[in-house]
Chain A
């Protein structure tokens, strides 16, 4: 690989869509085909540019690579500091991959205001990529929040009947979360120089290195507040129960590509936030709030699955399944051990692939029939065999059938959850009840069973049975472009399902580091608590 590529790869990948969008701004808005093709090529080029990173990333070395650090706003210690580790690498690839596919899927779905549409799609792409590569908190926040604007427009302009309501709800909800997170960032930012005695900084790696192991009582107390501030920001994005109510509206009203990006990438920004910031930087608070986090994750899994079960709208069903699956990711992450984290992160990728594909599938049907009511369909497998086959594979992946990606993720998460020691959950002393790994794992399994139930039932109701609705009798099967949008995802599902080792290898080092920080914090925290107690005893 040429040297210039290695040096600038992240910038190239991140800002190519932005410059593409700027170039499109000057295109004639009547030349729809040209704009469409240009956007697709830009997205494809972006994906192709990002692929070599996967091979160039040195998994044995671990840590942040492809770093770049420039002074930006020296007055307040802001740097342009980017870099990726294994976790962000996978999410970056997922983003460029789904970005390309969702733009490809929009060719026939979006027919009006084409130019603006692709401009916003590309801007969104830059925003999301920026979130994953930022190692400076300020930079991170800019991408994190600026990204809301194109998403707002995508829902608001090209969305369904209740688009305005859904768009503003999405915008307000996530903005409220972000600004509260901003306060958390500010609190850390002002605290950091008091520890180091140096100047201000937003350097995430420094925050983690210095503040993570710190056991100063003031900081331990502050961690809890900062954790809550971050929690609101990230939990709304994930979304964790009870902050999920924006999601069904936004997902259902958004255009297909918007839903794919929302489910595939945007939600991952929340889980990524927990993994990147909350866990390593605030390990003590993470421990402190662990029972609540685990409980919310499990409630999310079960609640999402149960609500998905009763949906009449195909897209809404998929939307609620997202709530359930993201609950899984959170359960894995908050298992706080190597397996759990591995599984949680891998499941983010899996969910991006399978739910992204499910939204594409709903989109394909919606384009043909202009309805998403499950009761309108039935027996489609006879009319659309290719579609039914692809849908079957994706559905199985979503359920977690062995040989497909979902299985690997869910299995690893359950292993991790099982290993959660007793006493990290809720304990009810007067009943002699100490909730431990077994409980969380069983809840997870229950979620998987429910997931299989609603998915299989959906498949049965739409694909099998008699083709009794005459409107469905004329449906065309997928054309080549439509197959092209789904086939790559199917390939990935099999790849991860059969041979996940390369992914785990990339994740190993960064995840091990986070897990080590958390267990160090556990012992360190206990030592600090004992020391405080001892001092108290001496004082008396």
Chain B
């Protein structure tokens, strides 16, 4: 290992650099008081994301996704930073999620009298954190990048200064987030202590060597458990989900949308990389742990969602249950099965997170667009009669809800197909049974919204007029959901090519 700084490595973090500079630039520009800012600020933020996206995709163009699976080509900063197809996939997801979020934000912030430039730079900072999380090849990078993302989100959740719920949400999120960070960090220290390395790739080797001397390593296992718990907070898996409903409800709705997709996907990328790269020798152990978390998340998330009257809370619980579904894919990775099963499980995770990003942001966009002066628009009852007020919007929401429930001909079905398939393939049939029963339960509360939209009469005749940004986001999400629901081959191929190379000891 060569500790010397190699300027060539800067090329690897070029996209992140672009985004960081843009974020600072936005921060500086936000001091300019200008009435036109509500137009140019989001436009600039999107431009920044697009530039970053182009920089990310340049890697694909230069190397090809296949070549990016060869680790030696793309490791920088003494292995602390890795650019592989896996990370690129997630960076694309984060950037898309961020762009959709920015598109739907402006009108909402206007209505909340909170349209200030810091908002967009905070979103960009969060994305920077996420992108580093995706590329982290070292425990230290992981920790620093998670905190970068989390700090941005703490502020974003409490962004509505005058709103008590928003403040409460931020406080809860901050306290529980800090608590989880402590646990996570403790786990990292135990892992480091037992393996004497912070490099993700070396932890696995070190552990494999240790296993020869001492097959049982309680301290290491404790470390793995604590790390999983720490990340469990971030993905809002039961029983580490307590912050999620309050934070989701109190946060500005666009932030909620971003939190439930981007931040969740980011936590999953770290979890997947840690488990699949570093902790794989203990695969069968943590697979059981994840299976328990999955069952708890799916069941509790879905059952609690039935009781909610607030859309944001309902989607929060639904999001908890979806984290449970995604865990199915990781369970398949952990088993001492064939490499094929592992790859199938990882593909399922990637695919689902991509699909979920579009579908969930789509659903939240409708909640955001229902917001009017003095009306929060986030109750389930606010959707009453939407099909008569705005047939196309109601149709879009219908598609998103059906997709979340996993009904065929929507992208959500493809995602669930892969996840359930992963569980079956890994021989976890009982887990798949729990998952599909949950999937049926979830339909109940999604359909309640549909009943409101299509069967109940509207409460008022107020015109439903989303902003242009919201329309664009909605269109993107609906096209994605339906197009890839019917013809999923491109995204499946993208996910299949992006799964990280399993370490040599995998087979």
Contact of B360 with A by CB under 8 A = no
Chain A residues within 8 Å of B80, by CB? none
Chain A residues within 8 Å of B429, by CB? 183, 187, 225
- Stretch binding the partner chain, chosen from A169-177, A410-418, A523-531: A169-177
Contact of A148 with B by CB under 8 A = yes
Contact of B333 with A by CB under 8 A = no
Chain B residues within 8 Å of A116, by CB? 387
Contact of B433 with A by CB under 8 A = yes
Which residue of chain A is the closest to B409 with respect to CB atoms?
A146
Known: A74-B489, A149-B402. A186 touches B440 (CB 8 A): no
Q: Which of B436-462 contact A (CB under 8 A)?
A: 436-437, 439-440, 443-444, 447, 451, 454-455
Q: How large is the interface on A (under 10, 10 to 19, 20 to 34, 35 or more residues)?
A: 20 to 34
Known: A149-B402, A152-B447. A187 touches B408 (CB 8 A): no
The reply to whether B432 and A183 contact each other, CB–CB distance below 8 Å, is: yes
Q: Which of A61-92 contact B (CB under 8 A)?
A: 72-76
Max chain B C-beta neighbours (<10 A), residue from A157, A172, A175, A190: A175
Interface on A for B, CB 8 Å cutoff?
Answer: 72-76, 116, 141-146, 148-149, 152-153, 156-157, 164, 168, 171-172, 175-176, 179-180, 182-183, 186-187, 189-190, 225
- How far in angstroms is the closest Cβ of chain B from A39? 18
- How far in angstroms is the closest Cβ of chain B from A447? 32
The reply to whether A75 and B443 contact each other, CB–CB distance below 8 Å, is: no
The reply to whether A186 and B421 contact each other, CB–CB distance below 8 Å, is: yes
Which residue of chain A is the closest to B439 with respect to CB atoms?
A179
Chain A residues within 8 Å of B493, by CB? 75
The reply to whether B433 and A180 contact each other, CB–CB distance below 8 Å, is: yes
A189 CA to B95 CA, complexed, in Å: 35
Which of A76, A171, A187 lies in contact with B492, CB distance below 8 A? A76
Which of B409, B424, B447 lies in contact with A183, CB distance below 8 A? B424
5 A-B pairs, CB-CB below 8 angstroms? A145-B408, A156-B454, A168-B447, A180-B437, A182-B420
Chain B residues within 8 Å of A153, by CB? 454
The reply to whether A186 and B420 contact each other, CB–CB distance below 8 Å, is: yes
The reply to whether A182 and B436 contact each other, CB–CB distance below 8 Å, is: yes
Q: Which of B384-424 contact A (CB under 8 A)?
A: 387, 402, 406-409, 413, 417, 420-421, 424
Q: What mask results when residues 338 to 380 of chain B are scored 1 for a CB within 8 Å of chain A, else 0?
A: 0000000000000000000000000000000000000000000
Contact of B91 with A by CB under 8 A = no
Chain B residues within 8 Å of A225, by CB? 429
The reply to whether A145 and B407 contact each other, CB–CB distance below 8 Å, is: yes
Known: A148-B407, A183-B429. A172 touches B436 (CB 8 A): no
Chain A residues within 8 Å of B409, by CB? 142, 146
The reply to whether B454 and A190 contact each other, CB–CB distance below 8 Å, is: no
Contacts A75-B496, A156-B455 supplied; 15 other A-B pairs, CB < 8 Å:
A75-B489, A142-B408, A144-B408, A145-B413, A146-B408, A172-B444, A175-B443, A176-B440, A179-B436, A182-B436, A183-B420, A183-B433, A186-B424, A187-B424, A189-B421
Q: How large is the interface on B (under 10, 10 to 19, 20 to 34, 35 or more residues)?
A: 20 to 34
Contact of B234 with A by CB under 8 A = no
A189 CA to B440 CA, complexed, in Å: 22
A1 CA to B387 CA, complexed, in Å: 44
Contact of B488 with A by CB under 8 A = yes
Chain A residues within 8 Å of B488, by CB? 73
Which of A72, A157, A183, A187 lies in contact with B489, CB distance below 8 A? A72
A75 CA to B455 CA, complexed, in Å: 40
Which applies to chain A's interface (DSSP): helix, strand, loop or mixed? Answer: helix
Contact of B425 with A by CB under 8 A = yes
The reply to whether B424 and A164 contact each other, CB–CB distance below 8 Å, is: no
- How far in angstroms is the closest Cβ of chain B from A420? 32
Which applies to chain B's interface (DSSP): helix, strand, loop or mixed? Answer: helix
A148 CA to B447 CA, complexed, in Å: 12
Chain A residues within 8 Å of B408, by CB? 141-146
Which residue of chain B is the closest to A156 with respect to CB atoms?
B455
A73 CA to B407 CA, complexed, in Å: 18
- How far in angstroms is the closest Cβ of chain A from B491? 10
The reply to whether B407 and A149 contact each other, CB–CB distance below 8 Å, is: yes
- How far in angstroms is the closest Cβ of chain B from A518? 27
A11 CA to B424 CA, complexed, in Å: 33
Chain B residues within 8 Å of A187, by CB? 424, 429
A116 CA to B450 CA, complexed, in Å: 14
Which residue of chain A is the closest to B347 with respect to CB atoms?
A75
The reply to whether B444 and A164 contact each other, CB–CB distance below 8 Å, is: no
Chain B residues within 8 Å of A171, by CB? 443, 447
A168 CA to B441 CA, complexed, in Å: 11
Chain A residues within 8 Å of B489, by CB? 72-75
Chain B residues within 8 Å of A164, by CB? 451, 455
A527 CA to B127 CA, complexed, in Å: 64
- How far in angstroms is the closest Cβ of chain B from A243? 14
- How far in angstroms is the closest Cβ of chain A from B381? 15
The reply to whether B496 and A176 contact each other, CB–CB distance below 8 Å, is: no
- How far in angstroms is the closest Cβ of chain A from B148? 35
Q: Which of B450-497 contact A (CB under 8 A)?
A: 451, 454-455, 487-489, 492-493, 496
Chain A residues within 8 Å of B454, by CB? 153, 156-157
A117 CA to B63 CA, complexed, in Å: 53
Known: A145-B407, A183-B429. A157 touches B455 (CB 8 A): yes
Which residue of chain B is the closest to A75 with respect to CB atoms?
B492
- How far in angstroms is the closest Cβ of chain B from A187? 6
Max chain B C-beta neighbours (<10 A), residue from A76, A164, A168, A176: A76
Which residue of chain A is the closest to B440 with respect to CB atoms?
A176
Max chain A C-beta neighbours (<10 A), residue from B444, B447, B492: B447
Chain A residues within 8 Å of B496, by CB? 75
Known: A75-B496, A142-B409, A180-B436. A190 touches B444 (CB 8 A): no
A148 CA to B409 CA, complexed, in Å: 12
Chain A residues within 8 Å of B487, by CB? 72-73
A152 CA to B488 CA, complexed, in Å: 26
- How far in angstroms is the closest Cβ of chain A from B413? 8
Which residue of chain B is the closest to A139 with respect to CB atoms?
B408
The reply to whether B440 and A179 contact each other, CB–CB distance below 8 Å, is: yes
Max chain A C-beta neighbours (<10 A), residue from B408, B437, B489, B496: B408
Which residue of chain B is the closest to A189 with respect to CB atoms?
B421
Which residue of chain B is the closest to A144 with respect to CB atoms?
B408
A72 CA to B440 CA, complexed, in Å: 27
Closest 5 CB pairs of A and B: A179-B436, A142-B408, A176-B440, A75-B492, A186-B424
The reply to whether B440 and A172 contact each other, CB–CB distance below 8 Å, is: yes
Chain A residues within 8 Å of B443, by CB? 171-172, 175
Known: A146-B408, A171-B447. A190 touches B425 (CB 8 A): yes
- How far in angstroms is the closest Cβ of chain B from A255? 14
Chain A residues within 8 Å of B413, by CB? 142, 145
Chain B residues within 8 Å of A168, by CB? 444, 447, 451
Chain B residues within 8 Å of A75, by CB? 489, 492-493, 496
Chain A residues within 8 Å of B420, by CB? 182-183, 186
The reply to whether B447 and A186 contact each other, CB–CB distance below 8 Å, is: no
